[in-house]
Amino acid sequence: MALDSLRFHSEIDALCELARWCAARGWVPATSGNFSARDAATGRIHISRSGLDKGLITPADLLELDAEGHELSGDGKPSAETGLHVVIYRDRPEAHAIVHVHTIWNTLLSARCESAGHVDIQGYELLKAFSGVATHTHSERVPIIPNSQDYHALATEMAAALAQNHNAHGVLLSAHGLYTWGTSVTEARRHLQAFEFLFEVKYQRLIAAQFD
């Protein structure tokens, strides 16, 4: 138990480091984005508080929630998007870290492909960064959910997207941002970096293909 606790503290440190790294790259502009980790020993979710410049985040800026998203401890208000984290942890039992970022490329790509309801990414070596993917011929379908301020409705949409895309490693909210996750902060970070690289490549190729 003490060892588990130590291990989870180190996950929390890694989560904050990842959030600051995202801030430095402009991936969580203003106070956007949120970051969470689930403690395997307790099932509790630790999530960044609302309205925070992620460049300044420390473990003290995380709130502790139960598995249903009720606040147990911590200062500040949980993010309005907490419900989306709760759904992902519920429907992806292997997930123990979730990252949500707003980047130029995920915004451009999700807005452009929203009407299709998804974007398919295939043929890139970097797809192998996704857990369980062993070849660049893999086709990663990224569901795109229309954005909404009704977070209950969004949570339902997220659950549907996860159910319909068993192998998806992430979900886009249109003109809003990416949700991705991993069994650990390290894996979530790997998925995040792979997605953002692939989004930039995919969007640039979509635009270039317009005049081929």
Q: Can you list the positions of beta strands (E) in 149-199?
A: 170-173, 177-182
Among 20, 29, 117, 159, binds a copy of itself (CB under 8 A): 29
Least Å distance, CB 193 to a copy of itself, is 4
How far is it, in rounded angstroms, from Cα 23 to Cα 20?
5
CA distances from 178 to 42, 128, 158, 183 (A): 27, 19, 12, 17
| Binders of a copy of itself in range 89-118 (CB under 8 A) | 102, 104, 107-108, 111-112
Comparing CB distances to a copy of itself, the nearer of 159 and 201 is 201
Q: Which of 180, 151, 177 shows the shortest CA–CA distance to 28?
A: 177
Asked if 32 interacts with a copy of itself (CB under 8 A), we say yes
Least Å distance, CB 32 to a copy of itself, is 6
Cα-Cα-Cα-Cα dihedral sign, residues 12, 170, 41, 33: positive
Residue 16 near residue 57 (C-beta atoms within 8 A): yes
> Would you give the binding string for a copy of itself spanning residues 144-173, x where CB under 8 A is met?
---x-x-----------------------x
Asked if 123 interacts with a copy of itself (CB under 8 A), we say yes
Asked if 211 interacts with a copy of itself (CB under 8 A), we say yes
Q: How do strand 118-122 and strand 34-38 relate by DSSP bridges?
A: unpaired
- Length of the chain equals 212
Number of residues near a copy of itself (by CB under 8 A):
45
Comparing CB distances to a copy of itself, the nearer of 62 and 108 is 108
Asked if 83 interacts with a copy of itself (CB under 8 A), we say no
CB count in 10 Å sphere of residue 13: 13
Q: Which of 134, 22, 143 shows the shortest CA–CA distance to 91?
A: 143
Least Å distance, CB 47 to a copy of itself, is 18
Q: Which residues bind a copy of itself (CB under 8 A)?
A: 25-26, 29-32, 53, 102, 104, 107-108, 111-112, 123-126, 129, 134-137, 147, 149, 173, 175-177, 186, 189-191, 193-194, 196-197, 200-201, 204-205, 207-208, 210-212
